[in-house]
Amino acid sequence: MGRRVLISLVGLALASALLAARSVQVQGIDSQSNAQAALAEMVRQPLIPATRGAITDRNGEILAVSEPAVTITADPNIVVTNGNDPDRMGRGDRLKADSAAGVIAGLLVAYLGGEYQDYYDKLTRTETADGTKIRYVVLARDVRSYINGQLTAHLSQLGYRGLFREQSPVRSYPNGSLAANVLGYMTHDDALEAEGKFPWTGGGGLEYALDANLTGVDGREVYEISPHGRIPTGSTVLEQPQDGISYQLTLDAGLQYMAERRLATALTETGARSGTVIVLSIKTGQVLAMATNPTFDPNQSGLADQSVLGNRAVSDAYEPGSVQKVLTMAALADAGLVTPETRVEVPAEIISGDKPIHDSYSHGTLRLTAAGVVANSSNIGTVLLARQLDKASLSAYLSSFGLGQRTGVGLPGEASGDLPGADMGSQTRDHISFGQGLSVSAIQEAAAVAAVVNGGLYISPTIIKSATRSDGQPVDVQAQTTRQVISPEASDIVLSLMEAVVASSVGKDRFPIEGYRTAAKSGTAERYDADCACYRGYVASFIGVAPVEDPEILTYVVLDDPKGAIQGSQVAYPVYRDVMKVALPRFGVPVSTSPPPDFEINW
Amino acid sequence: MSALMDSPLSRPEPPTRPRPEARPAALAPPRLGGLAFTALLVVLLMGGLGGCLLLKTSLQEQAFELSSLRAEAERLGDHEAFLRAGLALRTTPAELARAAAGLGMVANPYGAYLILPGGQVQGVTRPVNGSELTAMAPPVEPPTPDPTAPAVDPAAPDGSAAQTDPDRTAQGADPDPAAAGQGEVAGAGGGTTALTSDQTEAQALSSGPTDPTETG
């Protein structure tokens, strides 16, 4: 008895000594690295990806949204054994494992589409040519999580193993190409993928410009696991992801669609290389529609030609032609040099520098009022009037209207255009008075003319209406700037000059928008071609506002290099007309109740 | 009576009793007592183990419940996102225009306004004949294929195929797993069990019986 007790005690003592020694080894020596290894073994901290912010139109219509999606991968070596130890499979296991690749491939075709043979080959190729085992193969990307959930449920119901998923949210543009040039697109960044981060970033448009804010901050969940799974009583830390900021644009998707449709038709009919339509809310500076063509589908931006991915409405600078006369007249009116009745004697041609300037139609000496000059779009009459204003003032007015500088509309890649300064030559002054020898972007020109008819108050245009954090808190968006460029009286004078284009004896019934009094100006500019560094082709444009009593909506159409008919009044006007016709009732602009006045054109 | 009074210090000395006579202690505890003690230990041990088992089972059950609820929440979230995506595709201006054109509707650019109060009408209402805004009419052929419906297989050999009805699968599940598997292979390799575009449509529009996870 005593002997047995002794043996037991000695045994216990030895065991304790061993444990103590091990304890010293683990905790005394190498304690740091052991603790870290244990922690790494015990603690899991999977990323919880932040959801990229959505982009909606002014009515909440979704333009860009991130949707839960996965990449489906497989381990072929698990698939072909169905997760069993090859040496210990029974007959049933063996039969099931042999059928696995076929069944899985069939289900993949059923749920995801694609080719049966492609899936089958990937699932059954367990080794590379040099005998390395393949443990990872990508079967499908951008699979909506819901579809994958169904597939997974079906597979587990049938008892097949070996498929895995990786979260990889997909950016979706349910409207396809609608406003694509504004929204932009996502690009795959290989460098980010190599770092193990989410590899898609904004590649163009608002997706690019707002990328940092849209992206958000990933969260993570930290918890402890044991070999049997998660430890229920273990510590859990949940760092909630901070989803990206969502943006609401000023665009109206419905109007945008109609503008794009109309523009696409116009390009087909006129053979123009490209075109732009901008619809602007005059009193708020909000861009209601901004259509450019050619365009692309951001869902498949990789397939698009690089040249169509930009936004011509802000990035293309061109010579605006006769639309510019509106701004020239605004400067003259504010300087007190022009009223609609101002009389101008217009000769057949006029010498500027060493070359003659003509009008678009030949005529002898005309006696035109300023209204007549604008209605007839007389270059000569405009030059004669503009020569009364000193060059510095003209340049300063145009600069104040926003020419020669970016508007800050919120879109990337904006061109600043080229505005000659106070030191410009006399010939340049003559030319810019009717829209040659300076360049503008469509958004610049639209905002400038909007200022002219908005009582002379320039409001910098914007396309971002509001921004909201994921918790619903509003985020400040870039503020618009305003400045008084010309007096309200001068604004009225120019509006009247523009109405003469539509309603005088010259323009009567040429540019009607039924029910509304409108004011407008067409433009046909010689087109500078960078390829030949020469003038080749034309830029046809048309700008107009309605209703004249209290202008609310501005529409500007620019067609680059139309073939056949080239006049803005011929090719750009029909686009303007149709867009205006739907835009005015759409925004509840009341019809005009007063007739336009009579205009004196000649004297 | 105050607590002070009750203190042991103030307690009167108990009356002295005659000292009891010393008796020899029992040489060994009674055998029955040893058995009882062992039984007590066993009961305590069993109780402890049972309690542990219960606790662990309950924790595990909760963990299972938690994970299944999480999975359910995720599945429902995915389903919602899927349905929203389908809805977003159907409410786009392009889709509405196409649907309207399909119904024979044409755009009417002639707006008129009813002024309230008073009831006078501003603007002239008039019927349209369809020639007003033809340049804005939706294109005749549908544009790009639906990018968010990867389940649609444009190359699906035929439009008619079996649905992934969970009940069918469950009933078909043979005790011999290989048999069920082979059945699937035959379907997949030959006639194809492809879900058709109709199937996708049904999935997008309802989570009805075609949804394997719904009842599965």
pLDDT band at B159 (very low <50, low <70, confident <90, very high): very low
Residues of B in contact with A144 (CB under 8 A): 78, 81-82, 85, 148, 150-151
Between chains, do A109 and B194 touch, taking CB under 8 Å as contact? yes
**Which residues on chain A are in Cβ contact (under 8 Å) with B79?**
146, 149
Q: Are the C-beta atoms of residues A405 and A448 closer than 8 Å to each other?
A: no
So what's the pLDDT on residue B23? Answer: 75
d(CA A394, CA A432): 10
Residues in A closer than 8 angstroms to B151, CB to CB, are 111-113, 144, 147
- Per-residue pLDDT, B29: 57
Report the sign of the C-alpha dihedral through residues A573, A578, A583, A588, in that order: positive
pLDDT tens column, A257-295: 999 999 999 999 999 999 999 999 999 999 999 999 999
Six-digit token pair at B208?
């009805």
The answer to whether A576 and A555 are in contact (CB under 8 A) is yes
Touching check for A149 and chain B: CB below 8 Å? yes
Phi, psi dihedral angles at A377 (to 5 degrees): 50, 50
Of A114, A176, A585, which is closest to B143 when you measure between CB atoms?
A176
Mean local confidence (pLDDT), A170-193: 91
- The single-letter DSSP state of residue A24 is I
Q: Region A288-305: what's the mean pLDDT?
A: 92
- Give B36's pLDDT tier (boundaries 50, 70, 90): confident
CA distance A316 to A424: 23
Q: Up-side HSE of residue A464: CA atoms within 13 Å toward CB?
A: 26
Residues A515-533: tens digit of each pLDDT: 899 999 999 999 998 888 8
| pLDDT computed for residue A325 by the predictor | 96
Inform me whether the C-beta atom of residue A224 falls under 8 Å from chain B C-beta atoms.
Answer: no
> Which residue has 């520098």 as its token pair?
A353
> What six digits make up the tokens of A209?
């410009």
Cβ atoms of residues A456 and A492 within 8 Å: no
Show residues of chain A in contact with B92, CB under 8 Å.
61, 174-176, 178, 253, 257
Count the neighbouring beta carbons within 10 Å of the beta carbon of residue B46: 10
Distance from CA of B61 to the nearest CA of A (A): 10
Q: First CA to last CA across chain B, in angstroms? A: 74
Interatomic CA distance for residues A332 and A397, integer angstroms: 9
pLDDT confidence bin for A127, thresholds 50/70/90: confident
Instruction: Grade residue A223 by pLDDT with cuts at 50, 70 and 90.
Output: confident
Interface probe with A: pick from B131, B213, B215, most Cβ of A within 10 Å: B213
CA distance B45 to B47: 5
Which of chain A's residues have a Cβ under 8 Å away from the Cβ of B94? 175-176, 178, 257
The average pLDDT across A1-18 equals: 88
pLDDT for A1: 56
Contact between chains at B192 and A253 (C-beta distance less than 8 A): no
- Quick check: B11 pLDDT over 70? no
Range from A421-435, A482-496, A498-512 carrying the lowest mean pLDDT: A498-512
Mean pLDDT of chain B, nearest integer? 66
Q: How far apart are CA A552 and CA A565, in angstroms?
A: 30
The amino acid at A603: W
- CB contact under 8 Å between B78 and A116, yes or no, is no
Q: A468 has which bridge partners?
A: A246, A474
**Considering only CA atoms, which of A434, A399, A395, A454 is closest in space to residue A522?**
A434
User: CA–CA separation, A262 vs A579, rounded Å?
Assistant: 7
Separation CA A452–CA A445 (nearest Å)? 11
Using alpha carbons, list the distances in angstroms from residue A521 to A258, A321, A375, B129, B179: 22, 10, 8, 30, 78
Instruction: Tokens 């690749």: give the residue.
Output: A101
Q: Would you place residue A189 in the very low, low, confident or very high pLDDT band (cuts 50, 70, 90)?
A: confident
Is A92 in the B-facing interface, judged by CB distances under 8 Å? Answer: yes
pLDDT of residue B213: 34
CA angle A200, A201, A205 (to 5 degrees): 135
**What pLDDT score does B183 carry?**
35
Q: What count of residues does chain A have? A: 603
pLDDT at position A175 over 80: yes
State the nearest Cα–Cα gap between A303 and chain B, in angstroms. 12
CA atoms within 13 Å, Cβ hemisphere of A162: 30
**Cα A361 to Cα A358, A373, A525, distances in angstroms:** 8, 13, 14
pLDDT for residue B198 is more than 80:
no
Please say whether the dihedral angle defined by the alpha carbons of residues A245, A246, A251 and A256, taken in this order, is positive or negative: positive
Place of tokens 């349905």: B83
CA atoms of A173 and A465, how far apart (whole Å): 19
> In the structure, how many helices (H) and strands (E) does chain A have?
21, 27
Please name the residue of chain A whose CA is at the shortest distance from the CA of residue B189.
A106
What are the residues facing A483 on neighbouring strands? A458
The whole-number average pLDDT for the span B88-116 is 88
Q: Quick count: other Cβ atoms within 10 Å of Cβ A165?
A: 18
Chain A contact for B79 (CB, 8 A cutoff): yes
List the single range of A201-210, A321-330, A352-361, B193-202 with lowest mean pLDDT: B193-202
How remote is the C-alpha of A67 from its chain's centroid? 18
Residue A130: is its pLDDT beyond 60? yes
CATH number for the segment(s) A42-68+169-249: 3.90.1310.10
A51 to chain B, closest Cα gap in Å? 12
What single string gives the DSSP state of each residue in B155-195?
T-S-S------HHHHHHH--SSHHHHHHHHHHHHHTT----
A517: exposed, middle or buried (Cβ count in 10 Å: 0-12, 13-18, 19+): buried
CB neighbours of residue A388 within 10 Å: 12
More confident residue, A598 or B198: A598
What does the alpha-carbon distance between residue B44 and residue A362 come to, in Å, rounded to a whole number? 117
CA distance A171 to A165: 18
A134 touches A14 (CB < 8 A): no
Mean pLDDT confidence for A38-55: 83
% of chain B beyond a pLDDT of 70 = 52
Q: Which of A96, A142, A173 sits opposite B150 (nearest CB)?
A: A142
Q: Is A260 on the interface with B (CB under 8 A)?
A: no
What average pLDDT score do residues B58-66 get?
87
Output DSSP code: residue A25.
Answer: I
- Residues in B 57-76 with any Cβ partner in A closer than 8 A: 59-60, 62-63, 74-75
Contacts of B216 in chain A (CB under 8 A): 153-154, 157
In angstroms, the CA A307 to CA B169 distance is 51
Where are the extended beta strands (E) located within chain B? 113-114, 121-122
Distances (CA, A) of A47 to A136, A393, A404, A488, A552: 21, 60, 47, 58, 49
Is the pLDDT at B145 greater than 60, yes or no?
no
Fold matches, A69-168 and A253-296+311-586: no
Count contacts between A and B (CB, < 8 Å): 227
Chain B residues with CB under 8 Å of A65 CB are: 85, 88
pLDDT in tens, B73-84: 988 999 998 998
Task: Judge contact between A111 and A151, C-beta under 8 A.
Answer: yes
Residue A157's CB: how many other CB atoms inside 10 A? 17
Task: Indicate whether this complex's ipTM tops 0.90.
Answer: no
B1 touches chain A (CB under 8 A): no
Residue B209: predicted pLDDT:
35
CA trace torsion B197, B199, B203, B206 (10° rounding): 120
User: Residue A427 burial by CB count (10 A; 0-12/13-18/19+): exposed, middle or buried?
Assistant: middle
Cβ neighbours around B95 below 10 Å, total: 18
Render A513-548 in DSSP notation, one character per residue: BTTB--EEEEEEEEEEETTTTEEEEEEEEEEEEE-T
Q: Omega before A294 cis (within 30°)? A: yes
Which residue, A116, A80, A83, is CA-closest to A98?
A80
CB contact under 8 A, B184 and A99: yes
Domain A69-168 has CATH 3.30.70.2110: yes
Say if the Cβ atoms of A146 and B81 lie within 8 Å.
Answer: yes
The tens digit of pLDDT for each residue in B161-175 reads 333 333 333 333 333
Structure tokens given for A279: 């619809």
Of residues A83 and A11, more confidence is placed in A11
CA–CA gap between residue B20 and residue B15 (Å, rounded): 14
Q: How confident is the model at residue A303 (pLDDT cuts 50, 70, 90)?
A: confident
pLDDT at A552 over 60: yes
The pLDDT of residue A296: 95
pLDDT at residue number A33:
82
Cβ contact (<8 Å) for B63 and A229?
yes
pLDDT reported for residue B30? 55
> For chain A, what percent of residues have pLDDT higher than 90?
67
Please report the residues numbered 123 through 182 in chain B whose beta carbons come closer than 8 angstroms to any beta carbon of chain A.
123-124, 132-133, 135-139, 143-144, 147-148, 150-156, 161, 164, 166, 169-170, 173, 176-178, 180-182
Per-residue pLDDT averaged across A122-149, rounded? 89
Lowest mean pLDDT among A300-304, A341-345, A385-389: A300-304
Domain A253-296+311-586 superfamily per CATH: DD-peptidase/beta-lactamase superfamily (3.40.710.10)
Residue A423: burial class (beta carbons within 10 Å; 0-12, 13-18, 19+): exposed
The residues pairing with A249 across neighbouring beta strands, listed in sequence order, are A464
Q: Which of A107, A113, A172 sits opposite B148 (nearest CB)?
A: A172
The model's confidence at residue B116, banded by pLDDT at 50, 70 and 90, is confident
CB of A48 less than 8 A from some CB of B: no
Average pLDDT over residues A490-518: 88
Instruction: Select from B89, B178, B189 the Cβ nearest to the Cβ of A106.
Output: B189
Mean pLDDT, to the nearest integer, of A388-410? 95
Which H or E run contains A426?
helix A426-433
B93 CB neighbours in chain A (<8 A) are 61, 175, 178, 253-254, 256-258
Report chain A's mean pLDDT, rounded to a whole number. 91
Q: pLDDT grade, residue B194 (50/70/90)?
A: very low
- pLDDT(B197) > 60: no
Three-state SS for A560?
strand
Question: Which pLDDT score is estimated for B179?
Answer: 36
CA dihedral B33, B34, B35, B41 (to 10 degrees): 110
| CB nearest to A158's CB, from B78, B113, B180 | B180
What pLDDT band is residue B155 in, cutting at 50, 70 and 90? very low
Q: Which of B92, B98, B115 to mutate to test the interface with A (most CBs of A within 10 A)?
A: B92
pLDDT at residue number A161: 87
Which sequence spans correspond to the domains of chain A? 42-68+169-249, 69-168, 253-296+311-586
